[in-house]
Homo-oligomer: A and B are copies of this chain.
Amino acid sequence: MLSGSQSGLETEKLAIDHSLEEFLTYATQELSAIDPYLQPISAALREFLAGGKRLRPLFAVAGYIGAGGSLESDAITGVHRAVVSLELLQACALIHDDMMDGSDTRRGAPSMHRRFEREHRSRSGHGESAAFGNAAALLIGDLALVLSTQALNQSGICTEQAEQVNPIFDLMKVELMAGQYLDMHAGSRAHVPVADALKIAIYKSGKYTIERPLHFGGALALCAPEHREIYSEYGIPLGIAFQLRDDLLGVFGDSSVTGKPAGDDLLEGKRTALISYAIEHLAGAEVEEFTANFGNRSATPDEISRMRALINNSGAVEFIEKIIEEKTTLALEASKHPRISVDGQELLAQLAIAATRRSA
Which residues of chain A have a CB within 8 Å of any CB of chain B? Answer: 27, 30-31, 34-35, 37-38, 41, 92, 96, 99-100, 102, 120, 125-127, 131-132, 134-136, 138-143, 145-147, 149-150, 153-154, 159, 162, 166-167, 170-171, 173-178, 180-182, 184-185, 187-190, 199, 203, 269, 295
Cβ-neighbour of A142 out of B27, B31, B132, B177 (below 8 A): B177
Assuming the contacts A35-B199, A38-B182, A120-B188, asked whether A170 and B149 have C-beta atoms less than 8 A apart, the reply is: yes
- Tell me if A184 and B149 are in contact (CB < 8 A): no
Alpha-carbon distance between A177 and B35 when the two chains are bound, in angstroms: 12
Cβ-neighbour of A136 out of B132, B181, B295 (below 8 A): B181
Determine how close the nearest CB of chain B comes to the CB of A330; give it in whole angstroms.
23
- Tell me if B182 and A135 are in contact (CB < 8 A): no
- Tell me if B177 and A143 are in contact (CB < 8 A): yes
3 shortest A-B CB distances, which residue pairs?
A125-B188, A150-B170, A146-B173
Cβ-neighbour of A138 out of B34, B41, B100, B199 (below 8 A): B100
Residues of B within 8 A of A140 (CB): 181
- Tell me if A189 and B125 are in contact (CB < 8 A): yes
Determine how close the nearest CB of chain B comes to the CB of A124; give it in whole angstroms.
9
Residues of B within 8 A of A154 (CB): 167, 170
Cβ-neighbour of A153 out of B92, B134, B150, B166 (below 8 A): B166
Alpha-carbon distance between A162 and B162 when the two chains are bound, in angstroms: 11
Assuming the contacts A146-B173, A153-B170, A184-B132, asked whether A178 and B125 have C-beta atoms less than 8 A apart, the reply is: no
Assuming the contacts A127-B187, A127-B188, A132-B188, asked whether A145 and B143 have C-beta atoms less than 8 A apart, the reply is: no
Alpha-carbon distance between A150 and B166 when the two chains are bound, in angstroms: 8
Assuming the contacts A149-B149, A170-B146, A187-B126, asked whether A35 and B269 have C-beta atoms less than 8 A apart, the reply is: no
- Tell me if B175 and A34 are in contact (CB < 8 A): yes
- Tell me if A34 and B185 are in contact (CB < 8 A): no
- Tell me if B146 and A203 are in contact (CB < 8 A): no
Alpha-carbon distance between A149 and B131 when the two chains are bound, in angstroms: 29
> Chain B residue with minimal CB distance to A135?
B100
- Tell me if A34 and B178 are in contact (CB < 8 A): yes
- Tell me if B184 and A136 are in contact (CB < 8 A): yes
Determine how close the nearest CB of chain B comes to the CB of A134; give it in whole angstroms.
8
Alpha-carbon distance between A261 and B303 when the two chains are bound, in angstroms: 46
- Tell me if A146 and B174 are in contact (CB < 8 A): yes
- Tell me if B38 and A184 are in contact (CB < 8 A): no
Residues of B within 8 A of A96 (CB): 138-139, 142
With most chain B CB atoms within 10 A of its CB, the pick from A138, A154, A203 is A138
With most chain B CB atoms within 10 A of its CB, the pick from A31, A38, A135, A141 is A135
Determine how close the nearest CB of chain B comes to the CB of A290; give it in whole angstroms.
14
Alpha-carbon distance between A178 and B27 when the two chains are bound, in angstroms: 12
> Chain B residue with minimal CB distance to A141?
B142
Alpha-carbon distance between A14 and B125 when the two chains are bound, in angstroms: 46
> Chain B residue with minimal CB distance to A159?
B159
Alpha-carbon distance between A185 and B184 when the two chains are bound, in angstroms: 29
Alpha-carbon distance between A349 and B94 when the two chains are bound, in angstroms: 45
- Tell me if A203 and B166 are in contact (CB < 8 A): no
Determine how close the nearest CB of chain B comes to the CB of A301; give it in whole angstroms.
23
- Tell me if A30 and B174 are in contact (CB < 8 A): yes
- Tell me if A203 and B145 are in contact (CB < 8 A): no
Alpha-carbon distance between A298 and B30 when the two chains are bound, in angstroms: 40
Alpha-carbon distance between A182 and B38 when the two chains are bound, in angstroms: 8
